[in-house]
A = this chain, B = another copy of it.
Amino acid sequence: MFELDLRSRAPVYEQLVEKIKELIINNVLKPDQQLPAVRVLASELTINPNTIQKAYRELEHRGYIYSVPGKGSFVKPAVPGTNDARLQALENELGKIISEMLYLGVPPQEIITMLKKLLAKKEGGKLDD
């Protein structure tokens, strides 16, 4: 289900957080869908269960999943307009990316075109619903 790069300098649990978050955001993992059990995923990836739990704990803390003892861990349904702080952070990140693109010599019009192209692709892929 997941692929890891053990050679990477990024911590394994952090890679896991990013990967799973990405799957949730892209609707590959659907709302309320159950995630692999801590021990199961640890066995599949041949890493320690504690590392998985650390990733799950972080994902729960960031609001992407919820866990129920005895039942399992599940994708937390997103509620629009409930995460202004995260949205503000994203706008800030967007600003940095734009600055660097301008710095690299990309014309503003080309940046807009790039955004629209990406939006079309992502919106097109939303036909999975």
Q: Which residue numbers of A lie inside 8 Å of B, CB to CB?
A: 22, 24-27, 78, 80-81, 83, 86-87, 90-91, 93-106, 108, 111-112, 114-116, 118-119, 122-123, 126
Cβ-closest chain B residue relative to A111: B119
Q: Which of B25, B83, B98 contacts A115 (CB 8 A)?
A: B98
Q: Would B122 and A116 count as touching, CB distance under 8 A?
A: no
Q: Would B122 and A99 count as touching, CB distance under 8 A?
A: yes
How far does the Cβ of A79 sit from chain B's closest Cβ, in whole Å?
Answer: 8
Closest 3 CB pairs of A and B: A80-B105, A25-B103, A25-B99
Residues of B within 8 A of A116 (CB): 112
Q: Would A98 and B118 count as touching, CB distance under 8 A?
A: yes
Give the CA-CA distance A23 to B107 in the complex, in Å: 20
